[in-house]
Amino acid sequence: MSGSISVAAAGDTASNRPYSLKTQRRANGAEPLARFGEAKKVLGDIYAEINTYVDELNGFYEDPFHSANIDLSTEANPSAVVKVSDEQRKGLLDLSASIRIIRETFQRDHMKVVFFGRTSNGKSTTINAMLHDKVLPQGMGHTTCCFLQVEGCSEAEGYLQRDDIEEKLPLSELRSYGNALGDDDRALPSAGGYNRTLRVFHPRTSSDGHVNRLLQNDVVIVDSPGVDVSPEFDSWIDAHCLDADVFVLVSNSESTLTNAEKQFFHRVSQRLSKPNIFVLNNRWDASASDGQDTANMVRKQHEQRLKEFLVDELHVCTEREVKERIYFVSSREMLEARLKELGKQERAFQQEYYKERRVEFEKFERVFEQCISRSAIHTKLEAHNRRAIEIVNKMRENCDAVQLAMGDQKRDRLLAMEESASTFTRCRENLAGSNKLVACRRNVCVRKCMSRFRPTFLRRSSASPSSWTNSSVRL
């Protein structure tokens, strides 16, 4: 998906298509991470509009005359005049419920990156460098004892939340719950193994006004225990990786890729279709003491082996793409330099050729941001976009079915009206014939009466009144 989410009818042109993320990006100059938020907003507007149409259609089904502002002068029940089947009504209610659930669901969607690597390769340090702050515990040895999921929060103070309780814990408890070097026995592995999750909510904006770009743009970062501390790869993948948009393998540039690291990502590639994998060869500052020629040879060796792993073994990228998936960095140098720039640290650890390593780290961040934004839109929001199209099509099918049924009702009523009109015409003709017959019979009766009683009437009228009582008239 190239960044354009739209629900458009056939025949729409680019000029009258309202939902184009490309157009918005050109107008606003948005950075890659902001595209995901823009896509969520556009998709939310689309679903809100669809929901309006569904409500209007449902109102018509319930009371078509009221929704059309028609005043019924009769006492007829509208449902008896316009009959909508229970199936169509239920289908529309199901669509309304589906829209409500989807709107609630995709508002919780986020971009997710998971960091993996061996113990003490610098995963937590790399995450802290990307966050411009020491958020996660870092140090020598086995430090991270469970999965630490870093998310942004709007509160001024961050907090922790375990996956088994809803209680908010202070950030000061992170060493106790998420650090294997904790000074008490509350570390999470004792409560359920390395597969447990501790959510770390960090303020999107710090007290000094610094805005964390990753957390501000709905990026969720997951730090993991070393892949060499537990063989529970499958459970790790099921619990934390199936919804990940990007994987970052933090490798130690002073050694080569291990079988444990390779095995884990082989499992990942079996469960997911072409996962986005970046490889950071950390601690590259150590190469400064070996001279530039030796460093170049070591770098070339690492690049060749990682290329074979990503392209030939995992088949997750092409030879052209792999050039932007492998980086040689020093997370410690980057973290301390950024902390110094923010005034949180007086001195920063830097070795020779630091600027080159910083440029490469920043290039990794740019490519990473583009990749995770594109992947999240494609894997998460595009599914909701397809669902929106399905809902529109189902609405159209629903309306077509109702229109077809109403067409049948209209035809039946027209036939009934024609039959009633024909019956009325026959009745009127019969009534006219009956009136004519009655008139004829009345005239005949009058003539008979006149012919029978007229002579007697004339004779009586000519005689004197006194003679009327002495004579009898036979009728």
**For the segment 395-435, what is each residue's pLDDT rounded down to a tens digit?**
899 888 888 888 888 888 889 999 999 999 999 989 998 99
What's residue 109's pLDDT? 84
Q: Judge if 138 and 272 occupy the same domain.
A: yes
Q: Stretch 293-319: mean pLDDT, rounded?
A: 94
Residue 185 confidence (pLDDT) above 50: no
pLDDT at 153 over 50: yes
**Mean per-residue pLDDT for 429-455?**
86
What is the model's pLDDT at position 315? 93
Residue 1 falls inside a structural domain: yes
Model confidence at 198: pLDDT above 60: yes
Three-state secondary-structure class, residue 179: strand
Q: In this structure, which amino acid lies at residue 413?
A: R
Give pLDDT, residue 187: 46
The number of folded domains in the chain is 2
> What's the rounded mean pLDDT across residues 97-101?
88
- Residues 26 and 117 occupy one common structural domain: no
Q: For residues 31 and 102, what is the distance between their CA atoms, to the nearest angstrom?
A: 26
Cα 170–175–176 angle (5° rounding)?
Answer: 80
**Under 8 Å CB-to-CB from 392, ≥6 apart: which residues?**
7, 50
Q: Which residue has the higher pLDDT, 108 or 38?
A: 38
User: 46-74 pLDDT, tens per residue?
Assistant: 999 999 999 888 888 877 655 445 554 44
What share of the chain in percent tops pLDDT 70? 81
pLDDT of residue 468: 52
Judge if 97 and 146 occupy the same domain. no
Looking at the structure, tell me whether residues 302 and 172 fall in a common domain.
yes
Same domain, 201 and 132: yes
The answer to whether residue 348 sits within a structural domain is yes
Which has more pLDDT, 374 or 207? 374
**Residue 191 placed within a domain:** yes
| CATH for 129 | 3.40.50.300
Q: What is the pLDDT of residue 374?
A: 92
Does the pLDDT of residue 238 top 80, yes or no? yes
Do 314 and 276 fall into the same domain?
yes
Indicate whether 469 belongs to any domain.
no
Answer yes or no: is pLDDT of 204 > 70.
Answer: yes
**Within this chain, do residues 228 and 326 fall inside the same structural domain, yes or no?**
yes
Whether the pLDDT of residue 200 is over 70: the answer is yes
Lowest mean pLDDT among 185-194, 299-308, 413-422: 185-194
* Pair 66, 183 in one domain: no
CA dist 458 and 265 (Å) reads 133
Kindly state whether residues 94 and 118 are assigned to the same domain.
no
pTM value is 0.74
Structure tokens at 324: 């932007």
Position 237 pLDDT exceeds 70? yes
Per residue, the 3-state secondary structure of 295-350, as one string, reads: HHHHHHHHHHHHHHHHHHHCCCCCCCHHHHCEEECCHHHHHHHHHHHCCCCCCCCC
Predicted pLDDT of residue 20: 53
DSSP β-ladder status, 111-116 and 219-223: parallel
DSSP 281: E
324 and 290 together in one domain = yes
Q: Does 42 share its domain with 3? A: yes
User: Which pLDDT does position 12 carry in this prediction?
Assistant: 45
Buried b (16+ CB within 10 A) or exposed e, 359-379: ebbeebbeebbebbbbbbbeb
- Is residue 116 one of the residues assigned to a domain? yes
Q: What is the span of the domain harbouring residue 266?
A: 111-352
DSSP state of 118: S
Mean pLDDT of the chain: 82
C-alpha to C-alpha distance for 145 and 15, rounded to whole angstroms:
54
Q: What is the pLDDT of residues 371-390, one digit of tens each?
A: 999 999 888 888 888 889 99
